Amino acid sequence: MDFGPHLILAILEGAVGASVLALTALGLSLVFGVMRVVNVAHGEFFMLGAVVAWFVASTLAGHPAVGFLAALVIAPLVAGVIAMVVDRIVLKQVEYDPEATIVGTIGVLYILQQSALMVYGPEARPVEPPFSHRIALPWVDWGENGFGFYFPWGLSTTSYKLFVIVAAIAILLTFWLVMSRTRIGLIMRATQLDRETALAFGIPVQRVYSMVFGFGAALAALAAVLIVPIQQAHYLMGHDPLLLSFIVVIIGGLGSVRGTVVAALLIGMSDGIISVFLSPTLSKIIATLLVALVLVFRPQGLYGKKMA
């Protein structure tokens, strides 16, 4: 493939990856920012979203869009409710102690994964996209008659992939509006800034924690519903998003929304482009190297605040 079309294709693939990654990592970042706990089971909530999407889409007959739209609502709800239960029966019991929550959420990871294996089975199953048209992209080239358009092999995307990018941007904007313009957002930010003072001002911190944990899981599930028509649902699919989310959150600065989005773009795009041009393994190596460099030279992340 020529360099130009190849690059465009790489950027398109990278953008889809980056959008989904941004949503997933944002959930992880939010939980850490507000609750100061590391949720190792985050990837499993992603998987849960995809699996629930499959169940919803396969029970609802009719046009695939019906099942997909229902899944967009139901899957994040289910993941959110399960996360809130986990918050109550696991995290609260260990009093949000940072080390204990890591161990606790590792346990939750295995419980969710193995439950999915038992209920859903070991197969990968597809969810039909609500719509998907192949869009061939033209490319200009110097031919016999001067510059001319032509449609190179493979330079194409699907309308659904473009929809994923647009949907992710819309969700990110909504998230930003909720955080900065609503009362709930204010309460969350207050809890993030200073838990004790928030408590003193009558903010029900325990309930905020449950809500944030559920909200974080719901974001991961939402990202999964968007990607599942492209990738299929599988009980082990939570591993990669977890790893990449951690990379993104560390590079962006734990708890920083802006940093998370910027880092997700950086990692998602570079992952797409490097894996198209060179090899997917190399792109993971480079992402991990980037984390190491950030940790050495800017431990608080790109946008993180220095801890006192």
Contact residues for other proteins, defined by CB under 8 A: 1, 5-6, 9-10, 13, 17, 117, 121-124, 126, 128, 132, 134, 136, 153-154, 156, 158, 230-232, 234, 236-237, 240, 272, 275-276, 280-281
Task: Provide the strand spans (E) within the chain.
Answer: 134-136, 139-143, 146-150, 156-158
**The total number of residues written for the chain in this structure:** 308
Strand partners, 135: 157
Cβ neighbours for 30, distance < 8 A, ≥ 6 positions apart: 188, 212, 215, 216, 219, 257
CB of 227 to other proteins, least distance (A): 9
Q: Which is nearer to other proteins, 22 or 86 (CB)?
A: 22
Closer CB to other proteins, residue 208 or residue 274?
274
Measured from the CB of residue 55, what is the shortest distance to other proteins in angstroms?
A: 15
Min dist CB 154 to other proteins, Å, is 5
Nearer to other proteins, 85 or 119 (CB): 119
Residues 6+ apart with CB under 8 A from 250: 291, 294, 295, 301
3-state secondary structure of 301: coil
Q: Determine whether 249 is exposed, middle or buried from the number of CB atoms within 10 Å of its CB (0-12, 13-18, 19+).
A: buried
Nearer to other proteins, 56 or 211 (CB): 56
Task: Give 149 or 153: the residue with its C-beta nearer to other proteins.
Answer: 153
Q: Which is nearer to other proteins, 176 or 240 (CB)?
A: 240
In the block, residue with structure tokens 């080239």? 141
Minimal distance, residue 172 CB to other proteins, in Å:
21
Residue pair 225/49 in contact (Cβ under 8 Å)? The answer is yes
Asked if 35 and 213 count as a contact pair (C-beta separation under 8 A), the reply is yes
Shortest distance, CB of residue 143 to other proteins, whole angstroms?
Answer: 15
Please state the closest distance from residue 162 (CB atom) to other proteins, in A: 13
Closest CB to other proteins among 161 and 195? 161
Q: Cβ distance 49 to 76 under 8 Å?
A: yes
Strand partners, 233: 125
Query: Phi-psi bin for 301: left (phi > 0), alpha (psi -120 to 50), beta?
Result: left
Q: Which residues of 10-19 are buried (b: 16+ CB within 10 A; e: fewer)?
A: bebbbbbbbb
Least separation in angstroms between residue 1's CB and other proteins is: 4
> Minimum distance between the CB of residue 17 and other proteins, rounded to whole angstroms?
8
Rounded distance between C-alpha atoms, residue 290 and residue 274, angstroms: 14
The residue (of 22 and 37) whose beta carbon lies closer to other proteins is 22
